[in-house]
Amino acid sequence: MRLQLYILVFIAGLIWSCSSPNPENQSTKDSSQKERLWTEAERNFIIQELNSTSQELRNEIDALNNAQWLFREDSTRWNIAEIVEHLTLQNELHYREISAIANTPPLLQYISIAQGMDSVFQQYATSPKPGKARWFLKPVGRFCDKILAIQAFFTARGELTKFVQETKVDLRKHFTFRTGAGSKPLSELKKGDARDLHQLLLIGIAHTKRHLRQLKNIKKHPEFPK
C-alpha cells in the first residue's frame, strides 16, 4: 500500500513538472509584457508633428477667399476644399482605428516585423509615387462652406492629438495590418505588413505633409485667383 502511494506521488510530480510553465520562459514573457516600448520622446514627437502640420495648414487656408478655396487646376485635380475634406476624413478614420485597436490586447509577436520601419513610413511625405484615395476617403462636398470644413478638420485633428497626449497604452505593442497581413502566418510577413500605432500616426502626418505640398502648388498656379 505504501509503495503504491509513493508511485502515485511520483507520477503526479512528473505530470506537474511537464505541464507547469518554465519559470525562465514565464519570466521572459512577463518582462516583455511589462517593458514599455513607446517612449515619452516618441509621444512628444507625434504631438509636435500633429500640431505643426495643423498650424501650417491653418496658415495656408485661413485667408483664402471663396474663389481661391474652390479653384481647380483642371477637371482631374482636387481643389483646396477637396484636399481639406480628404484630410479630415483621414484624421477621422485614423482616430477610430487607433482608439479601437488600443482597446485590444497587445500583439507582441509582431514587434520584430514593425521595428526599424519608422523612416520608411515618414518618407511617404515626399514620395513621387502618385496616391489614389479609396472610395471612403474621396471628397464629395460634405461641407457647405470653408468655415465648416476647417472646423471639421480641426475637430478631428484635435481629438487625435488629445488621444496621443492622454493615452496610457503602449502604441508600440498594438498593430494594424494592410493587404490581409493579419491573417497570414508570422513567418510569411514582410517588413511593413504590420504597423504599430505609432507608425500609423507617422503615416497620417506624412499624408498631411504630402497634401500640404499639393495645396501650395495649387496656390502657385498662374491662374490661381488673386
* 3 state DSSP class of 194: strand
Q: What percent of the chain has pLDDT over 70?
A: 84
Residue type, 72: R
- Report phi then psi at 81, rounded to 5: -60, -40
Per-residue pLDDT band for 155 (boundaries 50, 70, 90) equals very high
Q: Inform me whether the pLDDT recorded for 14 exceeds 50.
A: no
What is the pairing mode between strands 175-177 and 194-196? antiparallel
The confidence score (pLDDT) of residue 40 equals: 98
Q: What is the pLDDT of residue 6?
A: 44
Q: What is the pLDDT of residues 104-136, one digit of tens each?
A: 999 999 999 999 999 999 999 999 888 889 999
Computed over every residue of the chain, the mean pLDDT equals: 87
How much is the pLDDT for 32?
Answer: 52
* Residue 212 identity (one-letter amino acid): L
- Confidence at residue 187, expressed as pLDDT on a 0 to 100 scale: 83
Going by C-alpha positions, the residue among 89, 81, 93 that lies closest to residue 57 is: 81
Residue 94 pLDDT exceeds 90: yes
pLDDT (tens digit, 9 = 90+) per residue, 35-64? 999 999 999 999 999 999 999 999 999 999
Q: Which domains does the chain have, with CATH numbers?
A: 38-219 (1.20.120.450)
Q: Please check whether residue 173 is in contact with residue 37, taking contact to mean a CB–CB distance below 8 angstroms.
A: yes
Give the lowest-confidence range in 79-88, 151-160, 184-193, 215-224.
184-193
d(CA 17, CA 72): 73
CA distances from 169 to 13, 199, 202 (A): 41, 14, 17
Q: Residue 7's pLDDT is what?
A: 39
Q: Which of 34, 56, 38, 37 is nearest to 46 (CA)?
A: 38
* Tens digit of each residue's pLDDT (9 = 90 or more) over 162-209: 999 999 999 999 999 977 776 778 888 888 889 999 999 999 999 999
